Amino acid sequence: MIEIKGVHKRFGSVSVLEGIDLEVRSGEVVCLIGPSGSGKSTLLRCINGLESYEQGEILVSSQRVDRHGKGIHDIRTQVAMVFQRFNLFPHRTALENVMEGPVYVKKENPREAREHARALLEKVGLAHRMDAYPDELSGGQQQRVAIARALAMRPRAILFDEPTSALDPELVGEVLAVMRKLVDEGMTMVVVTHEMGFAREVADKVCFLYGGRILEEGASRQVLGAPREVRTQEFLRRLL
């Protein structure tokens, strides 16, 4: 579903991605781990065209991701993104936040979009908070609204960029539980996370990024349980 071949990306004179190759199959869960500044967010942002890249190729369902190309809206609909900071519209309720994309971007019938949004909020456990504004919700609830909003676009894949890093520890579990549910339903996901328990449990593949490269890649059991590279070993040891 997602094919990344030899992607290089720089910000001015700083090289941030240095030849990334990665394949994500339909229904697969890939976790990206690695130190701060290794290029994880930039890679996600390249996949759905929020950033351009200079070299190489990214394909989503065989369609080339080109930030300035006319297919980019279609790709952003197919590949949704969930950010560390939930980025909800502050002056819209939970329900309105979830309906927004389908109605204004996809031109869905508002009544149907509302029904779908209700069902999605129910799915993330927020049936009782549909009319709340973001600042009336906890961080965990806001992030669950953000996940419902991503699902509202009926994406084929979702990219998560440290979805639990901004949360108080006691709220992490409720967001991971929703993500596990999506995994069980067969959603294709690329997840940047420091939650190693989650990665070990759900990832089909774990990639360790270091200095803009995938230094190590493999089954979660191998990369997290018996890493081959010294850098991976050091990184995992520091997380303990």
The DSSP annotation for 46-81 comes to HHTTSS--SEEEEEETTEE--TTSTTHHHHHHHEEE
Burial 42-58 (b: 16+ CB within 10 A, else e): bbbbbbbbebebeebeb
Stretch that binds ligand ADP, among 40-48, 97-105, 108-116, 223-231 (CB under 6 A): 40-48
User: Cβ(142)–Cβ(125) under 8 Å?
Assistant: no
Nearest distance from C-beta of residue 171 to ligand ADP, angstroms: 22
Stretch that binds ligand ADP, among 31-39, 63-71, 94-102, 195-203 (CB under 6 A): 31-39
Nearest distance from C-beta of residue 190 to ligand ADP, angstroms: 13
Name the site residues for Mg ion (rule: CB under 5 A). 40-41
Stretch that binds ligand ADP, among 34-42, 116-124, 194-202, 224-232 (CB under 6 A): 34-42
Nearest distance from C-beta of residue 205 to ligand ADP, angstroms: 18
Name beta bridge partners: 121: none
Nearest distance from C-beta of residue 37 to ligand ADP, angstroms: 4
Q: How far apart are CA 201 and CA 220, in angstroms?
A: 8
Q: Please tell me whether residue 40 binds ligand ADP under the rule CB under 6 A.
A: yes
Q: Please tell me whether residue 37 binds ligand ADP under the rule CB under 6 A.
A: yes
Beta strands in the chain (DSSP E): 2-11, 14-24, 29-33, 55-60, 63-64, 79-82, 157-161, 188-192, 205-210, 213-218
Minimum CB distance to ligand ADP smaller for 34 or for 139: 34
Q: Please tell me whether residue 36 binds ligand ADP under the rule CB under 6 A.
A: yes
**How many chain residues bind ligand ADP (CB under 6 A)?**
10
Residue of the chain from 42, 97, 142, 232 that contacts ligand ADP (CB under 6 A) = 42
Q: Please tell me whether residue 85 binds ligand ADP under the rule CB under 6 A.
A: no
Nearest distance from C-beta of residue 66 to ligand ADP, angstroms: 19
Q: Is 52 left (phi over 0), alpha (psi -120 to 50) or beta?
A: beta
Q: What is the DSSP letter of 105?
A: I
Stretch that binds ligand ADP, among 30-38, 96-104, 132-140, 224-232 (CB under 6 A): 30-38
Q: Please tell me whether residue 16 binds ligand ADP under the rule CB under 6 A.
A: yes
What does the block give as tokens for 190?
A: 């690329």
Cβ atoms within 10 Å, residue 225: 11
Nearest distance from C-beta of residue 2 to Mg ion, angstroms: 18
Q: What are the strands of the beta sheet with 188-192, ordered from one edge?
A: 79-82, 157-161, 188-192, 29-33, 205-210, 213-218
Binding stretches for ligand ADP (CB under 6 A): 11, 16, 34, 36-42
